[in-house]
Each structure stands twice: as structure tokens, then as C-alpha cells.
Structure 1
Amino acid sequence: MRILHTSDWHVGRTFHGQDLLGDQRQVLAALAELVRRHAVDVVAVPGDLYDRAVPSVDAVGVLTAALGEIRAAGAQIVATAGNHDSAPRLGAFADFLAAGGLHLRTAAAGVGEPVLIDDEHGPVAFYPLPYLEPEVVRRGFGLQGRASHQAVMTAAMDRVRTDLSGRPGARSVVLAHAFVVGAVTGGSERSIAVGGVESVTADVFDGVDYVALGHLHRPQTVTDRIRYCGSPLAYSFNEAGQSKGALLIELDAAGATTATPLPLPVPRPMAEIGGTLAEVLAGYQELVDHYLSVRLTDPVRPLEAMRRLKAKFPYALTLQWEPPAGAGDPDVESFGAAVAAAASDAELIADFLDDCRGVGPSERETAFVDQAIGLARAGAAVGR
């Protein structure tokens, strides 16, 4: 059986205010093309299909279209809820959708009940484990006292192994949304720790042939049979250098697996650049269509820096001013003396601007300050 392992789509996510639905539409369509090209039987999605519990109408449309394209390409889909998803909303009409080849398992009560899909060698039991919040599910799992991620995942896998023991010869795949010890975060994940340790050990997944993990956005191998495929898009500048894609898992008749990374297109690359504003504006022509994080090193904070950057780099998203050591540092004593010696409000504001950015107000700014001070005084006089 050929399984395409993909996760953490986060449909509806924005990136520093930038709408990513167009990028997500493009990369999810590429997943359907991978299904077609590699004759994939099942697409496994272990959580975070949406980025928020109540997705926008447009996000629902993008996800619906993507799932439809994957089904049309010939694969069945097995998916579960992540910590970003609303399990009840995502799992609505699951029984009806299963008849069309979309198997959504999002409720903790259904843990241990497999989705059975046959190939020429017999059945493969897929066990989707939704994100399990310890304090929410501990009673349903019969756990006493305060629960942990390790305890609830152990209880969930005990149910899986119990069911699997009654299916001799069946191969098994677990989908889990979890942080497994030894793995490394990508930089854009939301922590799942609520008053406790969020990680689980890899040995809780003993006894199954393959574990398709979701939650961490960096693709990585925990063991040969326990893997994260990572997110299909970079969602942080920390992820700019990561190779994004999906994993093609081939499961043979004996349950042995091979994993092949399959790259996905990058709709708009990310980059981090730095220098003085003049240097940045004069260079980096090859990055005009990238999402950019810009670090400016001017000794004096440049005026309207982001506006000037966006005139050349329309996808500049973040800006930091990091002057050379000592430059731009506030001189508390001199500013305090200026406050004491200031003859007027206008002088105080001028001294403040000079102290913060290394240059006093321009003529236009001075006129604006004078007008604002006049209006404030007039308002105060009327209030008396």
C-alpha cells in the first residue's frame, strides 16, 4: 500500500498579517498531483487541517476543494483533529463522508476503532488519534488524578493494541498529533503544554507498523517507523531553510515500510536580510517577490522605513532596527536634564525625538507638533 503522509496544513493561517490562502490553495493542489503521479492509495493527515477552531468561509472553501481534488486523484483520506482544529466541527457528518472515501476521526471516544482499508495483501488498520488534551479526556480514559500527555497517549495506544490483537495478520498505521521526545520544533507551532510537560516518549507507539505524526512543522525521523512529515508550507522565518513536502510511505505485505520525501512547490520563498536602509534598497533585487524579514543597522532610526521598503519589496513583512552597539541607546541622564531644562512643550517633544532617533523634528513635524499643542491647550481651556 502507498500512503502519502502530510500534516499541519493550517488552512486559513495568516503570516504577519499576510493572507496565505492563495499559497495554501496552490500547495494543496500539488498534493493531489503527487497522489496521481505516485498512485497513492491513502492520504494520512494527522491533524491541524485548519489553523483555528472557527475557520473563515474562505478557509473552509480551500480545504473542501483540496480534499475533493485528492479524492478525485484516486486516494482515500484518513484524517484526525489537531490542537488548532475544533474536533466537533471537523468531525461533523463523518459517517456520511466515510462513504465517499473521507474518513475523519476526531472524537476521543472513538480511539481504538480503526479505519480498515484493503490492498492486495489484505487489510491495513488505520488508527487516527486526535489531539488529546489530558484534562479533557482523562475521565473517559479511566485515568485517576491529574493526567499528562504521556498518560493519555499511553491509554490511547493501549486501546489501539487491544483492538489490533483481535486482527491477526492486519498491518497497522497510527496517526497521532503529538510532540514526541527527541523531535525538534520548527518555530511556528503552538505549544500544547497546559500546566505540564507536553511531550510523550516514542515507546508509547510500540506494536504498530508505522506512526504518522503531526504537530511539529520540521520534517524529521524519530525512528524508522515513527516520522514527522512537517508542514507543507513554511509558517515562520525560522523555517525558511527547511525542505517542505510530504512523505511517501510504502507498506509491504509484512508491514515493513520505506519512506521517500516528496518535495512540494514553494509559492513564495522567505528570506531574512539586513543592512542599512540604503544598502537594502540598493540591493537584493532577486528577493523582490519573497516574504522578507528585514533587520536595519542604521545608527539613527530611519524615517518611514517600512513604507520605503514596501515600495521596492511589496512582501516585506517584519522590520527590526538593530543599530550598532552604543548607537541609538537612550541617554537617560541627558534626557532627564533636557526635561528639567525644557522651556516649552514643543522643546520637550523635540528633545524626545532627538533622543529616540538621533535627529530632531523636521519643519513639517514641528508644525504638526505646534498645531497639536495648540489644540490641546484650547481643549483644556474649554474644559475649565
Structure 2
Amino acid sequence: MLDAQRNFVDQLVSFVEAKSVDVVLIAGDVYDRALPGLDVVKLLDEALVRITQAGASVVLTSGNHDSAIRLGFASRLLERGGVHLRTRIEDLDVPVILPAGVDSDGNTANVAIYGIPFLEPRLVAERLEAPNANHFEVTLAAVERIKRDVERRRLAGPVHPVVLAHTFASGGITSESERDLSIGGLGAVPLDLFEDFSYTALGHLHGRQELVPHVRYSGSPLAYSFSEAKHHKGAWLLEIGADGVTGVQEVLWEAPRTLAVLRGKLEDLLGSAEHAWAEAAYCQITLTDAQRPAQAMERLRTRFPDTLVLAFDPEGAEARSKTSYSSRLAEAEDDLGVCCGFLDHVRGRSAGEAEEAALREALEAVRLEEAEL
């Protein structure tokens, strides 16, 4: 998906330039695995250079897909170029400070941007002095550390805290392409943990969504599973002045390809004009033919060349499944019936004329060989 990712970076850089964006916030899952491919690392390098050349700083945290140590390499050096990495616990209460102007009381205000990377409870609970190794306790400990720093800074003047956090917040809508943060769904943290901040930019869930006005997910810039087919990919443009947040606007990214989730009988899908829009899309197709069509993928790709996922959900399959294979085997009248029944069982389609003829010939050859012994 490198070409699609490059297309997104082009859109992002153009938006930064057009809107004179001051800072780009990236809340984790920069990569899809701890050891990313060289092309992906190069693309991130190019993206960070282009964003900073366009006039914006970058604040970036690590997610559960990233290696925090690898992503955080050379963080102090990168900071000199306007790229601020927040991948270490030691930097939880080290904000990026941006001037916000003079407020209505005549005081000089600042925006303080903090980053909470993905916190694996078993690895960080002791270091954060959390009483229990779970997502709530370690996130609470991180938030409390940030709040103490905010209060200390407010002694010198107004501060509007903005927090990046890579976590699963209560109320978020998931999709199939996210990696679970914990077994049994115990990884969710309550929204009220973030109620004392001016804004919280969340990462992890792939759908762009507002949980409450000051807590939002930007979502992934591209769709990474067909469960995201109805997502409108984008980001949030946050405006902060001397008196705090003054506005949040949606930003939409143009997808290089649409996703199509189609369902129906093979001949209907191939012939219906209503599916013409999907001919240039990435497709997930479920066939409902009572019998599994031969060469289904090859035939579908004559119209939908980018069919990536093919599934079968035959009509009447539920009634058919109630009859056990052994019961159907017992009903076979001869060896040919057993062979044809097996084909029907494993692939959901009975033998065609040519297949039945080949099986009959093979069985006859075996019968003749046995007769000669």
C-alpha cells in the first residue's frame, strides 16, 4: 500500500501548507509492526521532512504496533528539526510548548502538548508506580503525572494542555484491522481520565470519531480492512487561542481506491448494472449460489479485477448442514455416489459431467485391476 500511503502524505503536506498548520499530531501506530520494511521507514523519513519544510512541527507518539525504542531513536536530535517524539515514560511530563497569544485578562498563554505512548501494563506498571498492572491504572498514573506538570506551569501563566494518547477509550467503535490491546476487552479506559485537558487526540481505533467534543480519534488515513469500507477517512483541524480551544473542524482525505463489499449470486454480480461502480474498487465478495460455482474467482475478476477476498455463503446451507456427512454417505447407492458425495461435501458443489465421467473411469480401472489379481 506504499503508493496509497504516498498519496496520503501528499494530501497532508498540501493541507499543512494551505491552512498554515502549526503542528501535526500523530497518536501512534506509525508503522504496522515493530520491524517495519525499509521502504516504509524511508516514507516516514520523507513525510517528516516535507511536513517540517511546509512550516509545521510534529509531535508523535508510539502505538502498540510500533517499537517504542526504535521509533524513539535520535529523539533529542530530531527535536532540533521540529520533530518531537514521545515514546518514553520519562518524557510523559515533558511537553512541547507553543505560544497561544495574550488572553482576555492580558496574560501570555501557552499550549502544552503532551504525549502518552502505548503503555503495556506488565512492562510499565512498576515504573509508573501503578498499584495494578492494567490499562486503567497505568493510564491514570500517566495522566496524573501530566496534570501535576500542568499545575506547576500554571503558576507562571495560563496553560492549555493537549494530550496525545494511544489507547482504547470507552465508547470507541472498533474495526477488524486493529490489534487487541488486551485479552477479554479489558483494555478500555474511561473518558473522564481526560476531562481536565483542553483536548485529547487519541490513536489506535481506525475510525475517525468524536467521543466527546474534547476527546476524538482521527482514525487511520487509509482503510486497512473491509470492515472500514464505510469509513470517511480524515483528521481533525484543531484551533487553539489564548483562551483555549476555539474550534474543531473535520478534514477528509481522498481515498485512491474505494472499497466494495458485494454479496449475491455469481451471475447476478457479473451481469447487474448496479455494481458497475465496483469495477474499479478493491472488492470483498460473498457468493450465495446454492452450489459453489466453478472458477468463481477467475470469473469474478473478469468484471472486478481487484477482488481481494472471496467467501461463500450458499443459500440453504443451514438446512444442508443439519444433515451429517456420514448420513449422506450412507445414502450413496454405489462407489461413484460416495466419490461424488465427497466432492460435494468438501467444496459445496456436486460433480460436473466431466468430473463424474473421470471418476467413473477411475473406478472402472480400479475394478478391472482388482479383477485381474
1:362 to partner: Cα distance: 4.8
> Does the CA-based 8 Å contact 1:354-1:361 persist in structure 2?
no
**Matching of residue 311 in structure 1 with residue 302 in structure 2:** yes
1:342 to partner: Cα distance: 4.4
**Matching of residue 104 in structure 1 with residue 85 in structure 2:** yes
Partner residue of 1:152? 138
Structure 2 Cα separation of the partners of residues 269 and 338 of structure 1: 48
Aligned in 2, Cα 1:202/1:371: closer, same or farther, shift over 3 Å? same
> Does the CA-based 8 Å contact 1:301-1:328 persist in structure 2?
no
- Describe how 1:1-384 pairs up with structure 2 within 5 A: 20-121=1-102, 122-144=109-131, 146-168=132-154, 169-194=158-183, 197-283=186-272, 284-326=275-317, 329-330=320-321, 331-332=323-324, 333-337=326-330, 342-343=334-335, 348-355=338-345, 356-363=347-354, 367=358
Structure 2 Cα separation of the partners of residues 298 and 196 of structure 1: 37
Higher mean C-alpha deviation, range 227-236 or range 287-296: 227-236
1:327 to partner: Cα distance: 7.9
Aligned in 2, Cα 1:370/1:152: closer, same or farther, shift over 3 Å? farther
Aligned in 2, Cα 1:338/1:58: closer, same or farther, shift over 3 Å? farther
Structure 1 Cα separation of the partners of residues 203 and 250 of structure 2: 15
Partner residue of 2:371? none
1:236 to partner: Cα distance: 2.3
Query: Where does structure 1 lack aligned partners over 5 or more consecutive residues?
Result: 1-19, 376-384
Structure 2 Cα separation of the partners of residues 372 and 80 of structure 1: 66
Aligned in 2, Cα 1:275/1:107: closer, same or farther, shift over 3 Å? same
Structure 2 Cα separation of the partners of residues 75 and 235 of structure 1: 27
Give the share of equivalent positions with the same residue, in percent.
Answer: 38
Deviations 1:340-365 (CA, angstroms, capped at 9, x unpaired) = x644xx76433311345342155368
> Does the CA-based 8 Å contact 2:110-2:242 persist in structure 1?
no
1:301 to partner: Cα distance: 0.5
Query: Where does structure 2 lack aligned partners over 5 or more consecutive residues?
Result: 103-108, 367-373
Aligned in 2, Cα 1:172/1:299: closer, same or farther, shift over 3 Å? same
Aligned in 2, Cα 1:249/1:352: closer, same or farther, shift over 3 Å? same
Structure 1 Cα separation of the partners of residues 344 and 186 of structure 2: 48
Greater relative contact order (Cα < 8 A, sep 6+): 1
Structure 2 Cα separation of the partners of residues 128 and 58 of structure 1: 26
| Root-mean-square deviation (Å) | 2.6
Structure 2 Cα separation of the partners of residues 40 and 367 of structure 1: 69
1:221 to partner: Cα distance: 1.6
Aligned in 2, Cα 1:369/1:219: closer, same or farther, shift over 3 Å? farther
Structure 1 Cα separation of the partners of residues 71 and 362 of structure 2: 55
Instruction: Looking at secondary structure, tell me which structure has more helix per residue.
Output: 2
> Does the CA-based 8 Å contact 2:329-2:341 persist in structure 1?
no
1:270 to partner: Cα distance: 0.6
Partner residue of 1:16? none
1:37 to partner: Cα distance: 1.0
1:366 to partner: Cα distance: 5.9
Count residues in correspondence.
353
Equivalent residue of 1:250, what SS? strand
Equivalent residue of 2:24, what SS? strand
Higher mean C-alpha deviation, range 326-335 or range 105-114: 326-335
Aligned in 2, Cα 1:40/1:323: closer, same or farther, shift over 3 Å? same
Deviations 1:225-282 (CA, angstroms, capped at 9, x unpaired) = 1111221112222221121111100001111241000111111001111221111111
1:131 to partner: Cα distance: 0.4
Name the aligned partner's letter for residue 98 of structure 1.
E
Structure 2 Cα separation of the partners of residues 207 and 373 of structure 1: 82
Structure 2 Cα separation of the partners of residues 156 and 53 of structure 1: 23
Deviations 1:89-142 (CA, angstroms, capped at 9, x unpaired) = 111111111111111110123211112233544432110000011111000011
